[in-house]
Amino acid sequence: MVSDEFASGFSYVLEKAGTSVKIGYFDNTIGSVYDNDQNLTQSGTDLWVSGVVMPMNNREGSEDSVLLEQGKLQNKDKRLYVNGSISMSNLNQTIKVQIGSPTGEIYSTIPIGAYTPEVSGEQIYKRQYLRLLQGGSF
């Protein structure tokens, strides 16, 4: 099946170029009044996966370049590629990503959302934009 070949190819990329990535999910709760603080509560346990981390592509006309020009991304943001089965976007959750093990820089996902191409209905990989968290917290 074609999707199996693509999945196998992406697994090979993760094996050769991947690094350890820790993903933590946090549920968002906001008080009953519109100006209440947002509270984050960790949801479940952290997930350790292999991912490929790349810098922004500033080449003119690239998707990253367009998003940079629109102000939706910054030059220091990163692109993360993980297996398609990994959840990287949820409206009710905030996601924290640590690149490297046992310690590393901590990022949050950028609400542009994950890009997940499909082959024969199978999600092969996900691309998610990340922004460095100053001090490691939201």
- Tens-place pLDDT, residues 58-77: 898 888 999 999 999 999 99
128 φ, ψ (degrees, to nearest 5) = -130, 135
When pLDDT is averaged across residues 22-36 and rounded to a whole number, the result is 77
Secondary structure letter of residue 136 according to DSSP: G
Does the pTM exceed 0.95? Answer: no
The answer to whether 84 and 126 are in contact (CB under 8 A) is yes
Instruction: Please report the domains of the chain, with CATH numbers, ordered by start residue.
Output: 2-136 (2.40.10.270)
Long-range contacts of 58-63 (CB under 8 A, 24+ apart): none
- Cα–Cα distance for residue pair 55/39, rounded to 1 Å: 31
Band the pLDDT of 21: cuts 50, 70, 90.
very high
DSSP three-state, residue 92: coil
- Least confident window among 14-18, 89-93, 118-122: 89-93
The answer to whether residue 30 scores a pLDDT higher than 90 is no
pLDDT for residue 4: 85
Helices (H), 21-131: 63-69
DSSP three-state, residue 84: coil
**Mean pLDDT score of the chain:** 86
When pLDDT is averaged across residues 34-56 and rounded to a whole number, the result is 83
Band the pLDDT of 79: cuts 50, 70, 90.
very high
Give the position of tokens 């981390």. Answer: 53
